[in-house]
Structure 1
Amino acid sequence: MDETKLEEAVEKKTLKQAVQDAFKELGDTFVAFVNAPKALWAINIPYIIEGLVYFGILTILGKFCSENVGLTDPQAGWIYSFVTGGITFAMLILGGVSDKLGVRLSLIVAFAVMFFGRALVGLSGTIPLGSGLGSPMFFVMFGGLFLMVLGYGLYQPASYAGVKRYTNPQTAAMGYAVIYGLMNLGAFFSGFISPLVRHRFESTFPPNGLPAVFWVYAGLTLLSLLITVFILTRKTDQQAVEQIARETTEMTGEDEKATPKSTEPEAKINNIPLAIYAMVTLGLLFLVIMIRNDRVQFNLPLAGVALSASFLLTIWEYLRHRPDHPFRDLRFVAFIFMLIPVQTLFAHNWLTIPYYLDRAFHGSVVSQYFELFSNINPILIFVLAPVVAGLTASRNIYKMMIYGTLVMAAPTFLLALGPNVVFFLAYILIMSIGEAMWQPRFLQWIAEIAPEGKTGAYMGIGQLPWFLTKVLTGLYSGYFVEKYIPRPETGLPIQSGKMWFIYGLIAISTTIFLVLAKGWMMKGMKQKAS
């Protein structure tokens, strides 16, 4: 009832008053955020670098798999599924580990593991190891990507736990929006670095200079590791915690330290069965990949059923020992799973758009610098995310989900009109506005409902549908790329409009689901908030 009255009061304001109030709130929040502890900036600076490296790798990985490793488009899609889906699955498993290790140690371990993994990927394209699925080159690359997956699965939950640890109630929303924007800023920079390095070392690292780009990314990961070690010290961490405690007490009048913590020991859980089921699931996934590519003779439908059963068994084993797990909440589960269709557009940023720009615009500047055009969205998010967060900080989260997903999904139909630079730029702009409206708020909601000391675990858990999105989208994206935007040398026609029309229908179904479930979902979210 109070929320309804508040919204009615807001509606009675003139548009000018509403805009003035919103920007005043944005300014106050931004000033408070600038004065945030030094430890928060030790999170943010490596986050820019990691955004550059991570999204830079995703932008060129498909081209590297196709032209250097010698994989087909569908096989490259499977590699994308492993990397992006594997990262989210690793977050699900390692989110709780980051809570136990602490923010600083988790980040150090994560960067070290990712450095060695990315160096292996660069090595795979540097020394002659043959090519093709099953070649030594493939397995060296795959080993490097596997290490990167493990490191990133620890890195992401630890970073968001760090934002929660180093922000107060006033700066929290801005903190999540900024860290989300900083990764996108880094991704934008990769659009400049990658083509410059690629063209410069094309003759040194034939056929396209991509191994040199991977080496540069490995070096940048090492830089992030050094920044974390020397800036995010134990002293810096303690000073930040004390500063946030003082600020929170001044704002709320409550002393968080005065709240007694439970001394009851946590029940020990035997995670050996979970680890076994997870390894079996990964093994079956690899088996399915091999069957699809005629490397192993076996019944594909049977292997698919076994993979699905093993995956569900893994989830069941994880949940049955955790009665207070958020996945026991039906509304929470429904809410995050309804976002899967629109999240496919995120996946297509690396699964489809680099191919689309490289092939549908073949022979043009867009094709020559496809990395730059592929990463226009990140710079827009960097600018838009904090601004939109400040303007909509007091808005109902669920309504922001509806409006944001609609704005994000609708412009996909512009691309259905055929390859056109103006349509593509309009799509990126409008889609980015929609993304900025709902994605940071969703991450904030997950972090804020998490119990004390469980932020990393909840961030990992909330990413499970994102894991499914990445895996499922990777399964069919290679087929769509091969069918609708084939390689120029094949001589087959480009039919990208049909592909984007189908993708638009998929994405906009999220908005429809959210609208239909509005009454039930908002009731549940009010209960969560209380």
Structure 2
Amino acid sequence: MSFLSNFGPLAEAPRDLWLVYLLKLLASFAYFSSSLTLTLYLTAELKLGDVAAGLHYGGYGVASTVYGVAGGAAIDRLGVRASLLLGAVLATVARAGLGLTHSRAVALTLLYTLLPAADALGVPVLTIAVRRYTNGRSRTLGFALFYTVMNIGALAAGGGVDAARAAFAGGLDMPAGWGRLSALRGVLLLGAAATASSAVLVVAGVRDVEMDEGGLLRVYVPGRWGGTSAAAAAAAVIDGADQADGVGGVAGGPAAGPSTLERCRTVLRDVRLWRLAVLMLLLVGVRSVFRHLDATLPKYMVRVFGPTAPFGAVYAINPAIIILLVPLVGAASRPIASFPMILFGSALAAVSPFWLTAFGDHYPAIVAFLVTLSVGEAIYSPRSYEYAMTLSPVGEEGIYSSLASAPLFLTKLLTGGMSGALLSVYCAEKPPPVRQTRLMWGIIGGVAVTSPVAMAALRRFLDIGAAAEGGRDDAATYEMVTVDGAAGGGDGGGGGGGGEGREGGEPEQGAAAGAAPLVGAPKGGAAPAVGGGSIASPPMPPLAEASAT
């Protein structure tokens, strides 16, 4: 029995899908390792204060999201192969530039231009690629494996950051007068090496093809309206080689229908959108805790426990638990409606910082914080995407999720500014005789707790019940598929993100502009159009929420 046959329906997927998983692993490692060390880099290498570093951290996250939304049309025109190649090149230049430059102006320019642009041409495109390289029989497993690979990349990033910091602990003199390479710069250059490897893989094997519902592989031609549809194009079947007898005609454009502005006006009058928007807004508080894992935890640990503090290993607790727990929680909680799970899980995640408030600066308290946060995330985060899909009518998922997710722009800015202010006052680099870290984590927890408290107060409005249809076809059942994003999101980048999709971070868009963390497809019904049609969905799942950044 071959290795691929162990994956059932994925055995018929083209080789490009397995390259995408490898690309996802490299991209996740690069994103999460740089995100984890970004605020430390801005302070230690660029000599920015805590508040300025926090604001630039938040600004980068917002930039990744904006680039992701604006870059959707460019992705459609370029296609998967060209978008991935361009994104890998931009990411390599940006991370290498950040690792080598000693100019604050150059570093900040890269942080707001090339790096978020690379995020927008990376993670979202990989998600689109998984959709094109799978069909109705394999898509659920394909996206599930994609999400798992993202978390493995985040897990590796935590260990990689600590390994790079240990390897470059004493610094390394660079040739040709480039100066001394610090541990933080070594982490960025390690990420640059990962994205450079991605560019090589794209050139070597990724193709613009798509699989139809019959398992046939066809040429996909990017065009003005997003390319040819496998159902409509007359392209020749590919037999596994990079050859085809011909390329089918490009679809003549989408059928006439309401404009985007008209659709938005209609959607804005729908109470379901406002339920979803209110929930997303109320989740900002608890999602901010995940962004503090990037923005606050590394500086806190280095300042309290010393420069060798293993914040990467501590950070890795989150993706490790998510990988193991999400499938178990999903299976055990199927009879329970979404809102009670969201309320309970977010409450658990929100109180997690209070471990450090109660027990102070001790490693067991930090571990308890990460474990509690991760268990809460595993409970509430996947169900928040199911809630969103339930409220979004079929065919309108993208516009509902993009409008409802607008409040999540607040998460990065809130966390970045808040992190810098709290660190400068309660955990400064050159502190007064006693640091007040317990109060700092208490404030973080207090902000997070506002989410479940407000949700409980608005329960009658938000709880749609287990049987709510949300405009869906009564005769169809739906497969709910969670994938990354990110931001961070998050991704962060999240990114969401552009960026990796993680709790709290990553930019969260539909498939055309960003990632499609949750896909609903009627079982046994007509398959969605491949290529020309859009598959859009709500925000990305848990980590490892970049997110986007």
Alpha-carbon contact 2:339-2:464 (below 8 Å) kept:
no
Which residue does the alignment assign to 2:509?
A: none
Distance 2:283 2:129 in 1: 25
Distance 1:160 1:326 in 2: 28
Report how far residue 184 of structure 1 moved: 2.6
Which residue does the alignment assign to 2:116?
A: 149
Describe the SS at the equivalent of 2:265: coil
Residue 220 of structure 1 pairs with residue 194 of structure 2: yes
Distance 2:132 2:336 in 1: 24
Match of 2:159 among 192, 204, 212: 192
Which residue does the alignment assign to 1:139?
A: 105
Normalised by the size of structure 1, how large is the TM-score?
0.70
* Distance of aligned partners of 1:406 and 1:157 in 2 relative to their CA distance in 1, 3 Å threshold: same
CA-atom RMSD in angstroms: 3.7
Residue 521 of structure 1 pairs with residue 462 of structure 2: yes
Describe the SS at the equivalent of 2:372: helix
Residue 372 of structure 1 pairs with residue 316 of structure 2: no
Give ranges in structure 2 of 5+ residues lacking alignment: 1-5, 174-178, 218-229, 233-250, 474-549
Residue 511 of structure 1 pairs with residue 502 of structure 2: no
Alpha-carbon contact 2:393-2:472 (below 8 Å) kept:
no
Which residue does the alignment assign to 2:182?
A: 208
Residue 84 of structure 1 pairs with residue 51 of structure 2: no
1:331 alignment partner AA: R
Report how far residue 410 of structure 1 moved: 2.4
Counterpart mapping for 1:57-206 below 5 A: 57-95=34-72, 97-99=74-76, 101-125=78-102, 137-146=103-112, 147-166=114-133, 175-201=142-168, 202-204=171-173, 206=180
Alpha-carbon contact 1:96-1:454 (below 8 Å) kept:
no
Report how far residue 506 of structure 1 moved: 1.7
Report how far residue 343 of structure 1 moved: 0.6
Which residue does the alignment assign to 1:339?
A: 283
Counterpart mapping for 1:266-345 below 5 A: 322-323=264-265, 329-345=273-289
* Distance of aligned partners of 1:404 and 1:211 in 2 relative to their CA distance in 1, 3 Å threshold: same
Alpha-carbon contact 1:167-1:244 (below 8 Å) kept:
no
1:186 alignment partner AA: G
Report how far residue 257 of structure 1 moved: 5.0
Which residue does the alignment assign to 2:381?
A: 439
Alpha-carbon deviations, 1:149-171, whole Å to 9, x = none? 12213433333334444556676
Alpha-carbon contact 1:402-1:514 (below 8 Å) kept:
yes
Report how far residue 345 of structure 1 moved: 0.9
Residue 356 of structure 1 pairs with residue 300 of structure 2: yes
Alpha-carbon deviations, 1:400-435, whole Å to 9, x = none? 322321222222211212112112111211211221
Alpha-carbon contact 1:107-1:154 (below 8 Å) kept:
yes
Query: How many aligned residue pairs are there?
Result: 426
Distance 1:429 1:327 in 2: 41
Alpha-carbon contact 1:164-1:447 (below 8 Å) kept:
no
Alpha-carbon contact 2:96-2:189 (below 8 Å) kept:
yes
2:105 alignment partner AA: F
Report how far residue 218 of structure 1 moved: 0.9
Alpha-carbon deviations, 1:261-281, whole Å to 9, x = none? 995346788xxxxxxxxxxxx
Give ranges in structure 1 of 5+ residues lacking alignment: 1-29, 126-136, 246-255, 270-318
2:161 alignment partner AA: S
Describe the SS at the equivalent of 1:56: helix
Which residue does the alignment assign to 1:252?
A: none
Of the two structures, which has the highest relative contact order with CA contacts closer than 8 Å and spacing of 6 or more?
1
Describe the SS at the equivalent of 2:215: helix
Alpha-carbon contact 2:295-2:419 (below 8 Å) kept:
yes
Normalised by the size of structure 2, how large is the TM-score?
0.67
Describe the SS at the equivalent of 1:70: coil
Which residue does the alignment assign to 2:442?
A: 501
Distance 1:268 1:529 in 2: 22
Distance 1:373 1:138 in 2: 30
1:203 alignment partner AA: L
Describe the SS at the equivalent of 1:69: coil
* Distance of aligned partners of 1:504 and 1:454 in 2 relative to their CA distance in 1, 3 Å threshold: closer
Counterpart mapping for 1:467-486 below 5 A: 467-486=409-428
Alpha-carbon contact 1:173-1:389 (below 8 Å) kept:
no
Distance 2:269 2:437 in 1: 38
Alpha-carbon deviations, 1:108-158, whole Å to 9, x = none? 332232222222212314xxxxxxxxxxx1111112222111221343333
* Distance of aligned partners of 1:452 and 1:268 in 2 relative to their CA distance in 1, 3 Å threshold: closer
Report how far residue 327 of structure 1 moved: 9.3
Greater Cα shift, 473-482 or 156-165: 156-165
Which residue does the alignment assign to 2:13?
A: 37
Alpha-carbon deviations, 1:10-40, whole Å to 9, x = none? xxxxxxxxxxxxxxxxxxxx95575472444
Greater Cα shift, 90-99 or 219-228: 90-99
Which residue does the alignment assign to 1:264?
A: 255
Which structure's residues are more often strand, by fraction?
A: 2
Describe the SS at the equivalent of 1:527: coil
Describe the SS at the equivalent of 1:243: coil
Alpha-carbon contact 2:132-2:210 (below 8 Å) kept:
no
2:316 alignment partner AA: N
Alpha-carbon deviations, 1:212-271, whole Å to 9, x = none? 22122111012223333434313xx323664399xxxxxxxxxx959x9995346788xx
* Distance of aligned partners of 1:263 and 1:479 in 2 relative to their CA distance in 1, 3 Å threshold: closer
Alpha-carbon contact 1:106-1:155 (below 8 Å) kept:
yes
2:69 alignment partner AA: L
Distance 2:274 2:172 in 1: 56
Distance 1:92 1:325 in 2: 19
1:350 alignment partner AA: D
Describe the SS at the equivalent of 2:122: helix
